[in-house]
């Protein structure tokens, strides 16, 4: 059923690049797969699932360490999922802060660009606003 595939095929299937797969193996995020006679890695279905999991979690901005925890949880399905929930909640908090701060940033960039009359630098809002942080009263971090 789970016919084994090469690292290239695994990369294509999972969307994780070949060197990144090797990197994940190196840092112990992905188990070392068996090899062919010619020393090539052979990945099975469970490896592909794991890779997809990792990729998705990375896309969602989870750090490798958080993913490590999530993978341990996934491997042991009888455990309470409170830990997973906690990680997700922490991440949600981060995301919300990041969105708020990016929204403020967008506003400021828009203000800069709208103010730029395409003249010389001396009248340029972009440079001016960057130079005059005093004018800008938004909240960082």
Partner DNA sequence: CTACATCCTCTAGCGACTAGAGGAGCAAGC
Partner DNA sequence: GCTTGCTCCTCTAGTCGCTAGAGGATGTAG
Least distance in angstroms from the C-beta of 61 to its own copies? 7
Residue where the block lists tokens 């929930």: 85
Question: What is the rounded CA–CA span in Å between residue 106 and residue 129?
Answer: 14
**How big is the site for DNA, counted in residues (CB under 7 A)?**
22
Contact 81, 47 (CB under 8 A): no
| Interface map 85-124 toward its own copies (x if CB under 8 A) | x-xxx-xx--xx-xx--xx-xx-xxx-xx--x-xxxxxxx
Contact 105, 141 (CB under 8 A): no
CA distance readout (Å), 18 to 11, 120, 126, 138: 6, 48, 41, 42
Question: What is the rounded CA–CA span in Å between residue 38 and residue 27?
Answer: 23
Least distance in angstroms from the C-beta of 139 to DNA? 18
Q: What is the DSSP letter of 34?
A: P
Q: Is 8 in the site for DNA (CB under 7 A)?
A: yes
Q: Is 80 in the site for its own copies (CB under 8 A)?
A: yes
Q: Is 81 in the site for its own copies (CB under 8 A)?
A: yes
Rg, the chain, Cα only: 23
Q: Which two tokens stand for residue 80?
A: 């309470």
- Per CB under 8 A, contacts with its own copies among 1-60 are 49, 52-53, 55-57, 59-60
Interface contacts to its own copies, rule CB under 8 A = 49, 52-53, 55-57, 59-61, 70, 73-74, 76-82, 84-85, 87-89, 91-92, 95-96, 98-99, 102-103, 105-106, 108-110, 112-113, 116, 118-124, 126-127, 130-131, 133, 136, 140
Which residues of the chain form contacts with DNA (CB under 7 A)? 6-9, 11, 17-20, 22-23, 35-41, 58, 63-65
């Amino acid at each position: 059923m789970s016919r084994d595939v090469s690292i290239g095929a695994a990369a294509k299937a999972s969307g994780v690049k070949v060197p990144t797969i090797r990197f994940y193996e190196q840092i112990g995020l992905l188990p070392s797969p068996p090899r062919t006679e010619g020393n090539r890695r052979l990945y099975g279905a469970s490896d592909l699932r794991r890779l997809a999991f990792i990729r998705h979690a990375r896309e969602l901005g989870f750090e490798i360490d958080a993913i490590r925890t999530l993978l341990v949880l996934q491997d042991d399905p009888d455990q309470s999922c409170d830990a997973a929930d906690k990680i997700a909640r922490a991440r949600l908090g981060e995301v919300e802060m990041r969105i708020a701060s990016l929204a403020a940033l967008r506003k400021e960039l828009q203000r800069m660009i709208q103010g730029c009359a395409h003249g010389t630098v001396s009248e340029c809002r972009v440079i001016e606003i960057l130079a005059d942080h005093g004018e800008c009263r938004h909240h960082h971090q």
